[in-house]
């Protein structure tokens, strides 16, 4: 290690972990790690975690009759049902809380990137400054659990797809500095490649290249005109990545070492293997990990047509891996100190776009009479009732929070919860104060707008 990197990053991380402020927060906390399982594209609540009356497809079907396109199936909890295809997750609901009353913001014309930005930063776009991702705030306030493992890791999202620039806008540490930004792993099967030199390059050559990079930065316009904080932050981010290269923890990124029986359960695609990688990194001391089904326009949960058919496949991708992740973390004792969250930017409905009483432009041609299977499904964006799962980190077990109406519009009618409260609930679990902030342009910028939101204490045991 000594021959590969400077001691700057290691010392700073150790000092941060040893600081009185962080020690106090950790002592006051219920969780050390957060895993966000991101259902990118808009997951319909009535066809997943909040099923309503089931109406099977038949030619000539009245679209207004359709509330759910899947049957309800029982769970481990009495009188709590999920949508068909989520049986494995239903068997672990006794280990967490099902929230059925999340209400997404009214941002006018509905765009996925705007709502995803809002969910991940807690701020409505656009902003006059680059708002940090929640993972970046956590990295700044608490630092890494393990000085070698990056504090903020993002798994599964490529930024070279449609709306890539919009996705980049919130996959960032914003004004907090590069050292708190995400360690991006677009494909979990190639995660090991992220923590070792390219094929054919020796460590000595890589070391020389790293030094050359440092020299280029020093002699660039950034090196000349950047602030001392910006330059130090950039160098620390490079040193943290460089430090991981030759550490024993790098083996956690190598999924080929996972026993076949376990690997096969998680191997439902990139998302499932992302859950496996998240579990392995949690065991090595990761702080914040996001695993996404990946947002790509008109794919995945972005069901503008063929909703029923598409959701059958999406459920196969998430059901076994999510359930296995919870069981594995529980078995090893990590679930007690790990807050696992499953969420999406908003929900969907067959007939309502946006929310009742707030007319927005319809983006889908949904006929009143359904003659073809492609029209059978939840194809319109719906923001007034969404589902979130939370496990571990002090969250109540076997709990259902909130309620949506049983008839259209299936909107929240009990205990609404908004994004400010979701973020503050996460921060509370980690021991981060509600008024945590950074100074930007001589004014405070809080983790949530104005720092006035409160955690939902009813969610905690």
Q: Report pLDDT digits (tens) over 302-351.
A: 999 999 999 999 999 999 999 999 999 999 999 999 999 999 999 999 99
The pLDDT of residue 6 is 29
* Token couple for 432: 């981060």
d(CA 160, CA 416): 36
Residue 218 pLDDT = 66
H or E segment to which residue 120 belongs = helix 112-121
Let me know if 72 is exposed, middle or buried by CB neighbors in 10 A (0-12, 13-18, 19+).
middle
Q: What is the structure's pLDDT at 216?
A: 72
Record the tokens describing residue 424, joined without a space.
């503050």
pLDDT for 179 equals 81
The predicted-structure confidence for 221-269, as pLDDT tens digits, reads as follows 655 555 555 555 555 555 666 667 667 788 899 999 999 999 999 999 9
* Number of neighbours of residue 411 by Cβ within 10 angstroms: 20
Q: Are 347 and 386 in contact (CB under 8 A)?
A: yes
Q: Please give the structure tokens belonging to residue 110.
A: 């509905």
Smallest CA-to-CA distance from 309 within 369, 367, 372, 374 is with 374
Task: State the pLDDT at residue 107.
Answer: 86
The predicted structure's pLDDT at residue 10: 45
pLDDT for res 191: 76
Kindly report the number of other CB atoms within 10 A of residue 362's CB atom: 13
What is the spatial distance between Cα 230 and Cα 176, in angstroms, rounded to a whole number? 9
Other beta carbons less than 10 A from residue 450's beta carbon: 10
Which residues, 6+ apart, have CB-to-CB distance to 312 below 8 Å?
Answer: 85
The CATH class for the domain spanning 8-459 reads alpha beta
Q: What residues in the chain have per-residue pLDDT under 70?
A: 1-19, 194-203, 206-207, 209-211, 213-215, 217-243, 245-246
């Amino acid at each position: 290690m000594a021959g590969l990197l400077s001691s700057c990053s290691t010392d700073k991380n150790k000092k941060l972990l040893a600081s009185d402020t962080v020690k106090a927060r950790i002592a006051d906390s219920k969780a050390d790690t957060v895993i966000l399982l991101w259902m990118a594209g808009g997951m319909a609540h009535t066809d997943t975690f909040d099923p309503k009356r089931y109406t099977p497809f038949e030619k000539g079907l009245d679209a207004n009759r359709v509330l759910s396109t899947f049957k309800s199936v029982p769970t481990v909890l009495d009188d709590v049902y999920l949508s068909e295809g989520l049986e494995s997750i239903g068997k672990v609901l006794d280990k967490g809380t099902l929230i059925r009353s999340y209400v997404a913001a009214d941002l006018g014309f509905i765009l996925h990137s705007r709502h995803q930005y809002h969910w991940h930063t807690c701020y409505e776009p656009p902003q006059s400054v680059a708002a940090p991702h929640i993972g970046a705030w956590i990295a700044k306030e608490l630092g890494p659990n393990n000085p070698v493992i990056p504090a903020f890791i993002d798994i599964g999202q490529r930024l070279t797809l449609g709306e890539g620039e919009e996705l980049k806008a919130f996959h960032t540490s914003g004004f907090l500095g590069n050292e708190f930004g995400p360690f991006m792993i677009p494909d979990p099967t190639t995660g090991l490649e992220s923590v070792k030199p390219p094929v054919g390059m020796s460590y000595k050559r890589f070391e020389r290249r790293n030094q050359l990079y440092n020299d280029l930065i020093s002699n660039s316009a950034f090196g000349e005109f950047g602030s001392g904080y910006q330059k130090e932050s950039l160098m620390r981010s490079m040193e943290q990545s460089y430090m991981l290269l030759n550490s024993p923890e790098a083996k956690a990124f190598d999924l080929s070492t996972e026993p076949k029986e376990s690997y096969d359960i998680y191997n439902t695609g990139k998302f499932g293997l992302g859950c496996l990688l998240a579990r392995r990194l949690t065991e090595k001391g990761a702080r914040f990990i996001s695993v996404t089904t990946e947002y790509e326009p008109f794919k995945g949960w972005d069901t503008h047509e063929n909703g029923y058919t598409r959701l059958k496949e999406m459920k196969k991708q998430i059901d076994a891996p999510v359930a296995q992740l919870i069981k594995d973390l529980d078995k090893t004792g990590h679930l007690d100190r790990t807050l696992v969250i499953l969420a999406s930017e908003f929900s969907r409905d067959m007939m309502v776009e946006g929310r009742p009483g707030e007319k927005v432009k319809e983006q889908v041609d949904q006929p009143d009479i359904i003659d073809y299977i492609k029209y059978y499904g939840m194809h319109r964006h719906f923001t007034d009732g969404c589902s979130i799962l939370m496990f571990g980190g002090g969250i109540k077990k076997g709990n259902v929070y909130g309620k949506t109406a049983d008839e259209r519009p299936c909107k929240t009618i009990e205990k609404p919860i908004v994004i400010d409260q979701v973020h503050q609930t996460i921060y509370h679990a980690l021991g981060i104060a509600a008024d945590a902030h950074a100074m930007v342009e001589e004014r405070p910028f809080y983790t949530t707008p104005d720092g006035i939101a409160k955690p939902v204490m009813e969610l905690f045991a």
